Chains A and B, each alone.
Chain A
Amino acid sequence: MTIKQDDIEKIAELARIRISDKEIGQVTERITEILHMVDRLQAVDTSNVEPMANPLDAIQRLRPDEVTQGNRRDAFQAIAPAVDNGLYLVPRVIE
């Protein structure tokens, strides 16, 4: 399996991480090394093996649909980069 620089650029876009032109070559090289290392798994026969998402095979616990936490909007917004009147501010999306 070969990883091309284009593939890394696509993945970086999916992950919303900018990679500078200066770095992209080395990043591609490193990611390729790691993906080669993990490629050994492909040779293992795993037919009839159930995937394991939780080491104790626990299932998601449900709880009653009740309000248990108070509203702490002011405390949470006090640490935000930019807020106004209870809203989180981001650059304009719609002109």
Chain B
Amino acid sequence: MHTKSVAQLMQGLRERQFSSVEVTRAYLHRIAALDSQYNSFITVDEAAALAAAAIADKRLAAGDGAALTGIPIAHKDIFCTDGMRTSCGSRMLDNFIPPYDATVIQRFNAAGAVLLGKTNMDEFAMGSSTESSFYGPTRNPWNTDLVPGGSSGGSAAAVAGRLAPAATGTDTGGSIRQPAAFCGITGLKPTYGRVSRLGMVAFASSLDQAGPMAHSAEDCALLLNTMAGHDPLDSTSSTMATADYCASLGDSLAGLRIGLPREYFSAGLDAATGACIGSALQELEAQGATLVEVSLPHSDLTIPTYYIIAPAEASTNLSRFDGVRYGYRCDNPTDLHDLYTRTRQEGFGDEVKRRILVGTYALSAGYYDAYYKKAQQIRRLIKQDFMDCFEQVDIIAGPTTPGPAFALGAKANDPIAMYLEDVYTLAVNLAGLPGMSIPAGFVDNKPVGLQLIGRHFDETRLLNVAHRFQQATDWHLRTPDSAQGGQQ
């Protein structure tokens, strides 16, 4: 059961080869048997999942099935779930039980999907290793001494370890694509505004975007069909019409122009990772695509630009956690000031506090123009680089990360080394573009991700290229040894 794709599970459910209760039970069993190795889930409610599966089976029996009826899906613990704890990986929200569903969750519910559980993540999505979670680090199924990437590391590990057929993630600077690369799965960050942010705990509101994480591009397309669309309750949600993201998966790549930014293939790229990317690009060339060298001249400014804009927005968004209305409150506050400052001292972890402080500094009187405004101006230059490239090419391709997954603890005490992990992914968020990571090989049994970047709202093309690549390769079908066993 656990080796089937979402597409295969949908077919099996429709043809009554098995029931949603059977599928859900199989995954719950695997989580119970295997997740002690990974720590990929924060919350699993078996009874609720099985009840939802039983309802899905009734719908299927009545011929009333919707797009994903009966498919178990894991959700990053950043999406508010009515009646189920939504911690965001933080002590601050350890006791937070939302009184409503995020729009993404509502859409999955309406499509009949079964909520399998909530996955582990870096605290408030700030990190690239899932080590900053209040619930302990998640481990990489390919080698449990390695990090799974982050911040959606729980979702990536759950899919890679075949504890869920698919999951959701969020990506503010690479948090879907980098863990997808490290865990050997497929992840898509849609265009900014394509998927609603309502009920998704906010980190940096001009960068945050939710997307699917699964084994294949086809499965990501199936999930995106449910996730994408306008939400009147999210003021930054796009009114642009959505597509059927499955409709063009098989289109030929003949004549496709792929841009290779020379800045993404420079000295910082690990040689063996670069060789995997080179082979993957040859495969796309063999299918009729043309490779064109392009340039993103402001690439060296993406990390400093991002590390002003994201913390500035985070410091604003996270000011809501004050110990008054919901979430953590310190014991025995002596006065209101003590309540605020001690609640935030005790409720937030080190990296979150660092980013709030950097953001507060960048926005404070006398520094705003030199930092925040300056970063917003350079953000426009970074976006313009991409717009210029897309005059010449249809998509951009390169490595998702400078190298494969690193060891747990290797960068945990060096924030700047951790920030460098996202050197190839941050610019996509700054420019609001859609980006994907797909499995493209292995270095020493560690997965390597190929990143594809598209024009605004051109998710269809990214999924098409990824699907054609996956029709000719089997990197996305490999299963880590640690995921063996766990059958009922």
Contact = CB atoms under 8 A, between A and B. Distances in A.
Main secondary structure, interface of B, reads helix
Nearest to B95: A79
A15 to B, nearest CB: 4
A67 interface: no
Interface stretch (B137-145, B244-252, B281-289, B348-356): B348-356
Contacts, number: 167
B262 interface: no
B436 to A, nearest CB: 17
A39 B303 CA distance: 11
Interface residues of A, number: 51
Nearest to A12: B357
A35 to B, nearest CB: 7
Nearest to A13: B341
Nearest to B235: A61
B342 interface: yes
Specify the main secondary structure of chain A where it touches its partner.
loop
Interface in B223-239: 232, 235-236, 238
Given A37-B307, A41-B305, A93-B336, A31 B357 contact: yes
7 contacts: A15-B315, A17-B341, A31-B357, A37-B416, A44-B301, A54-B192, A54-B206
A6 interface: no
B415 A34 contact: yes
Contacts of A46: 374, 377-378, 381
A95 to B, nearest CB: 11
A37 to B, nearest CB: 6
Contacts of B374: 41-42, 44, 46
Contacts of A31: 354, 357-358, 361
A64 B18 CA distance: 48
A63 B235 CA distance: 9
B80 to A, nearest CB: 11
Contacts of A30: 354, 415
In this complex, the member of A12, A39, A81 whose beta carbon has the largest number of chain B beta carbons within 10 angstroms is A81
A37 B340 CA distance: 30
A63 B232 contact: yes
